[in-house]
Amino acid sequence: MKKEKKIVLVGGCFDILHPGHIIFLEKAKKVGDYLVVLLESDEKIRRLKGDRRPVFKQSQRAKILQALKAVDLVVNLPKMDSDQDYDRLITKLKPDIIAVTKDYTNIDNHQRIAKLVGAKLKFVTKKIGNYSTSQILPLAQTKDL
C-alpha cells in the first residue's frame, strides 16, 4: 500500500522574497511531503500594507515562489472577503499540517482552521533575523542600486 503524501499549508504575502521567507518555506517543507503556498491577493496586501504595496503583482510573486525547490504548489488567492472564504478553500485542500512561525500574531484563527480541517498546527521556526519587506523597502530606497 502506497503511503499518502503529507500536505503542508502555508500562506502569506511574500512580496519581496527575503532570507526569512526562504528559511520558513524550507522548514515548512521538511515537516511534510508536499508544500502548498496560499498567496494573498494584491487587493488584500494593499488593504493591509498601504497603497504602495505590493511591490510585485500576485502573478510575479507566484512565479518567484514556484521557482523555489521547497514549493510544490502556489495557489493565487482571489479577493477573500471573510474567514468563511478561507475555510471553504482550505477544506478543499485538506492539509495535514498548517505551518506558521512562532511569532505569528493571528494564531487563534489558524488554530480554528486547523481544528476545522483536522490538521496539525506546526510552529516551524521563530522569526529569523530582522527580515521584513516593510523594513527592507525603506533601506532599498536609500541605496544607489
How much is the pLDDT for 43? 95
How much is the pLDDT for 135? 57
How much is the pLDDT for 81? 81
Q: What is the pLDDT of residues 58-77, one digit of tens each?
A: 999 999 999 999 999 999 99
Does residue 138 register a pLDDT over 60?
A: no
How much is the pLDDT for 145? 46
Does residue 121 register a pLDDT over 70?
A: yes
How much is the pLDDT for 3? 62
Domains of the chain, each with CATH number or no CATH: 7-142 (3.40.50.620)
Does residue 140 register a pLDDT over 60?
A: no
Question: For residue 43, what is its C-alpha cell?
Answer: 487587493
Distance CA 65, CA 92 (A): 22
How much is the pLDDT for 62? 98
Q: What is the mean pLDDT of residues 13-25?
A: 91
Distance CA 116, CA 111 (A): 9
Does residue 33 register a pLDDT over 80?
A: yes
How much is the pLDDT for 139? 53
Q: Who has greater pLDDT, 47 or 139?
A: 47
